[in-house]
Amino acid sequence: MTDIFLSKINSTKIIPSIRQGDRRILSRCISWIENEHADYLELLQSLPADYSTRKVIGITGAPGAGKSTLIDVLIGHLISEHKKIAVICVDPSSPFHFGALLGDRIRMNKWFNHEDVFIRSLASRGNLGGLNPKVIEITDLLKAADFDYIIIETVGVGQNEVEVAAIADTTIVVLTPGSGDDIQTMKAGLMEIADIFVVNKSDHEQTDNLVKNLQGILIQDQQPIPVLKTIATQGEGVRELWNQIKIDLSDETKNAHKPELLAAEAYQLIQYQRMKDLSKEDLSKDIRELIQHEQFNLYQLISKYT
Ligand SMILES: Nc1nc2c(ncn2[C@@H]2O[C@H](COP(=O)(O)OP(=O)(O)O)[C@@H](O)[C@H]2O)c(=O)[nH]1
Ligand SMILES: [Mg+2]
């Protein structure tokens, strides 16, 4: 290990190394963030002021919709344009989705050792049930590196997809025909967060129905959100998708919402910092002891924590 790792995190040396593309130091810093190394907040506080100009692309959708396969093709496309890409795959920590990480590895396998591609998987849920604050922090660290684009893959379950929209400059919602992704079942939140809809697996016969229904709803709601068809496994439609992403990323009118999005991030990070020493297990342990005394009062208990 280099000496900058020896004792304290030395941000003045680390940040320039990350910026120059040192992946080993970047990986190390990500681990520090994940494990909450004593100096990790100091590291984040020393991120350069321009770090937030890097573009983040969020890709969300149901498990199996083809997000990883799409990203795999997108990476190929970007590499041919000599771009550098970081990918964060956010896996729900639920054991029901335990296979996701392995699946993503298989899907993006050929890029794992490519020098211009950096892929990292993270658990999705923090202890507050929102998008893991680590995803926000690590994304910000990645913005300080030399990547042209940062792609975040999240599984669209619960509130996840809504939260990823707060950190992504462009959010792509991936739907698939014949999977119940029709308008009736589609959560209203998806309509609000999507900058681009992708109907993947458009080799499926129900494709045009889904596209038509979706476009109908978008017209009704006067939402001019583009709907694109892709067949990720064949790379079909991905060039068009990338062109649409570029159009969306360069849309200056979106900057108007930036302060609100940053406020939502700040809120979540502050909430996390304030609550992180508090666990429901500790609370129930305290209560278990106190409740044996007749004078137990819940409000006296919580006053000790607030
Ligand atoms: N027929 C078809 N299968 C696809 C397409 N895109 C992805 N798949 C398959 O769908 C499965 C799930 O893909 P994956 O990328 O892991 O989905 P994710 O969970 O959204 O990341 C894999 O077996 C893919 O090969 C497509 O456009 N057409
Ligand atoms: Mg995946």
Q: Give me the sheet containing 85-91, strands edge to edge.
A: 117-123, 85-91, 149-155, 55-61, 170-175, 196-199, 227-229
Closest ligand 1 atom, residue 174 Cα = 20
CATH number at residue 93: 3.40.50.300
Closest by CA to 56, choosing from 258, 264, 267, is: 258
Q: Do 185 and 202 fall within a single domain? A: yes
Residue 139 counted as domain residue: yes
126 alpha carbon to ligand 2 midpoint, in Å? Answer: 20
178 alpha carbon to ligand 1 midpoint, in Å? Answer: 13
Residue whose CA lies nearest to ligand 1 atom number 13: 66
Q: What pLDDT sits at residue 21?
A: 93
Q: Do 2 and 68 fall within a single domain? A: no
DSSP state of 109: G
Q: Do 226 and 107 fall within a single domain? A: yes
Closest by CA to 145, choosing from 235, 84, 217, is: 84
Q: Do 11 and 123 fall within a single domain? A: no
Q: Do 96 and 193 fall within a single domain? A: yes
Q: What pLDDT sits at residue 50?
A: 72
Residue 194 counted as domain residue: yes
Instruction: Give the pLDDT of the chain (306 residues) as one tens digit per residue.
Output: 445 554 566 778 899 999 999 999 999 999 899 888 888 999 999 998 776 568 999 998 888 899 989 999 999 999 999 999 999 988 654 333 334 455 555 566 677 778 899 988 876 555 444 567 888 899 999 999 999 999 999 876 555 556 778 889 999 999 999 876 556 556 666 777 889 999 999 999 989 999 998 888 888 877 789 999 999 999 999 999 999 999 999 998 888 888 888 888 888 889 888 888 888 888 999 899 888 877 788 998 888 888
64 alpha carbon to ligand 1 midpoint, in Å? Answer: 6
Residue 296 counted as domain residue: no
Q: Do 253 and 154 fall within a single domain? A: yes
Residue whose CA lies nearest to ligand 1 atom number 25: 233
Residue 209, classed as helix, strand or coil, is: helix
With a 6 Å cutoff on the Cβ, whether 226 touches ligand 1 is: no
Q: Do 173 and 24 fall within a single domain? A: no
Q: Do 33 and 72 fall within a single domain? A: no
With a 6 Å cutoff on the Cβ, whether 229 touches ligand 1 is: no
* Number of domains present in the structure of the chain: 2
State residue 132 phi and psi, 5-degree precision: -50, 125
Residue 273 counted as domain residue: no
pLDDT in tens, 252-270: 888 888 888 888 888 888 9
C-alpha distances out from residue 216 to 120, 189, 221, Å = 37, 17, 9
Residue 162 counted as domain residue: yes
Q: Do 94 and 133 fall within a single domain? A: yes
With a 6 Å cutoff on the Cβ, whether 66 touches ligand 1 is: yes
Residue 281 counted as domain residue: no
* Backbone region of residue 121 per phi and psi (left: phi > 0; alpha: psi in -120 to 50; beta: other values): beta
238 alpha carbon to ligand 1 midpoint, in Å? Answer: 14
C-alpha distances out from residue 295 to 115, 156, 284, 286, 301, Å = 64, 46, 17, 14, 11
With a 6 Å cutoff on the Cβ, whether 75 touches ligand 1 is: no
DSSP 140-181: HHHHTTT-SEEEEEEE--TTHHHHHHHH-SEEEEEE-TTTT-
Q: What pLDDT sits at residue 41?
A: 92
Which residue range is the domain that position 217 belongs to? 49-268
Q: What pLDDT sits at residue 1?
A: 47
DSSP state of 129: S
Q: Do 42 and 128 fall within a single domain? A: no
Q: What pLDDT sits at residue 51?
A: 65
With a 6 Å cutoff on the Cβ, whether 233 touches ligand 1 is: yes
63 alpha carbon to ligand 2 midpoint, in Å? Answer: 7
Mutate to test the pocket of ligand 1, among 59, 67, 69 (most ligand atoms within 8 A of CB): 69
Closest ligand 1 atom, residue 70 Cα = 15
Q: Do 59 and 28 fall within a single domain? A: no
Closest ligand 1 atom, residue 202 Cα = 27
Q: Do 196 and 54 fall within a single domain? A: yes
221 alpha carbon to ligand 2 midpoint, in Å? Answer: 30
Residue whose CA lies nearest to ligand 1 atom number 2: 201
Closest by CA to 170, choosing from 229, 247, 224, 227, is: 247
Q: What pLDDT sits at residue 118?
A: 93
Residue 279 counted as domain residue: no
Residue 155 counted as domain residue: yes
